[in-house]
């Protein structure tokens, strides 16, 4: 008998998107699937929908402050106390993705003979069908990221369709939601995994379609200094300099740490000055 594959699915106030994802998981050829939904304080109809459409799923409730890393860490902690085995496969998944009925089956098959192998699904645009990425590459000398078309070029990965052994996720140390609650948490986690000796692969049969309309990043409010600072100093902002600083401290090669911390905070100060100048000009 096959071991269950554990799906960790964070959700928040996207009832219809989540409904479509749950339906796709229900249609998977792999069996058994252990679906763990981490609902971070949804106030729409998500709770009722899950009870109707995923009655066998485990639903872990948050208060709206878990964010991405907190949801995944909560899911891993649940698996640790509910009998998951080290050799079990765990899949980190976004609900705004589409995939075929063989998605889980093919992902498990691709890593079944390699216990220390991670697999990242190939991401394509739902809107255009264009290839988006199979991992990313960070250039620490510039603190810049590029999507890559070959997994051999990747040195960090998203957790959007990431397959790995549960035991490896635990050995890596899980996520760090207090320091990196949302953006950059997946990159830091996978950089740590690669440093600990895990390897990564991909497979053309394990692909997902990403809804780019629901994956937008917040735009900072530059109307004034106050509005700019408030808009970037949140977990919702991909520009939060505190989170970027922690990412550099945790993941960056030592020789680039000070340079990159200076880059982060000088860019922040420059944008504050620009917001001030824009506000002054509007008076």
Q: Give me 205's structure tokens.
A: 């049969």
User: How far apart, in whole angstroms, are the C-alpha atoms of residue 103 and residue 236?
Assistant: 30
**Predicted pLDDT at 43:** 95
**Predicted pLDDT at 267:** 95
Which CA distances in Å does 216 have to 151, 196, 236, 263? 24, 32, 11, 24
Q: Give me 158's structure tokens.
A: 């998203």
Domain 5-214 has CATH 3.90.550.60: yes
User: How far apart, in whole angstroms, are the C-alpha atoms of residue 227 and residue 140?
Assistant: 30
Specify whether the CB–CB gap between 187 and 157 falls below 8 A: yes
Q: Which residues in the chain land under pLDDT 50?
A: none
Closest CA to 3 of 74, 102, 104, 116: 104
Specify whether the CB–CB gap between 186 and 157 falls below 8 A: yes
DSSP 113-153: T-TTEEEEPEEEETTT--EEES-EEEETTTTEEEE-SSGGG
Which CA distances in Å does 91 have to 115, 185, 236? 14, 16, 24
User: How far apart, in whole angstroms, are the C-alpha atoms of residue 160 and residue 214?
Assistant: 14
Domain boundaries, the chain: 5-214, 225-282
Q: Is 173 left (phi over 0), alpha (psi -120 to 50) or beta?
A: left
Task: Specify which residues 59 forms β-bridges with.
Answer: 37
Summarised one tens digit per residue, pLDDT across range 74-118 is 999 999 999 999 999 999 999 999 999 999 999 999 999 999 999
**Predicted pLDDT at 275:** 82
pTM for the model: 0.94
**Predicted pLDDT at 216:** 59
User: How far apart, in whole angstroms, are the C-alpha atoms of residue 279 and residue 283?
Assistant: 7
For residue 28, report the phi and psi dihedrals to the nearest 5 degrees. Answer: -70, 145
User: How far apart, in whole angstroms, are the C-alpha atoms of residue 186 and residue 8?
Assistant: 14
Location of structure tokens 């609900």: 95
Rounded to 5, what percent of the chain is helix, strand, coil?
Answer: 40, 20, 40
Specify whether the CB–CB gap between 197 and 118 falls below 8 A: no
Q: Give me 33's structure tokens.
A: 């699937």
**Predicted pLDDT at 225:** 85
Greatest pairwise CA separation for the chain in angstroms: 71
């Amino acid at each position: 008998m096959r071991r269950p594959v554990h799906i960790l699915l964070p959700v928040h106030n996207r009832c219809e998107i989540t409904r479509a994802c749950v339906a796709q998981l229900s249609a998977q050829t792999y069996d058994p699937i252990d679906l763990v939904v981490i609902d971070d304080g949804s106030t729409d109809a998500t709770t009722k929908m899950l009870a109707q459409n995923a009655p066998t799923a485990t639903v872990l409730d948050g208060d709206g402050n878990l964010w991405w890393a907190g949801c995944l860490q909560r899911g891993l902690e649940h698996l640790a106390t509910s009998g998951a085995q080290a050799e079990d496969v765990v899949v980190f998944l976004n609900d705004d993705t589409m995939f075929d009925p063989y998605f889980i089956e093919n992902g498990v098959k691709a890593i079944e003979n390699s216990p220390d192998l991670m697999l990242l699904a190939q991401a394509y645009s739902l809107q255009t069908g264009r290839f988006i990425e199979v991992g990313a590459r960070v250039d620490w000398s510039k603190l810049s990221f590029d999507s890559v078309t070959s997994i051999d070029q990747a040195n960090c990965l998203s957790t959007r369709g990431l397959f790995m052994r549960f035991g490896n996720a635990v050995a890596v140390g899980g996520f760090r939601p207090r320091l990196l609650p949302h953006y950059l948490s997946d990159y830091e986690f996978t950089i740590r995994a690669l440093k600990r000796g895990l390897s990564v692969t991909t497979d053309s049969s394990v692909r997902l379609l990403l809804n780019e309309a629901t994956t937008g990043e917040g735009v900072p409010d530059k109307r004034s200094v106050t509005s700019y600072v408030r808009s970037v100093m949140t977990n919702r902002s991909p520009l939060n300099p505190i989170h970027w600083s922690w990412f550099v401290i945790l993941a960056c090669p030592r020789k680039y740490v000070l340079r990159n911390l200076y880059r982060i905070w000088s860019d922040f100060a420059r944008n504050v000055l620009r917001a001030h100048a824009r506000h002054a000009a509007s008076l």
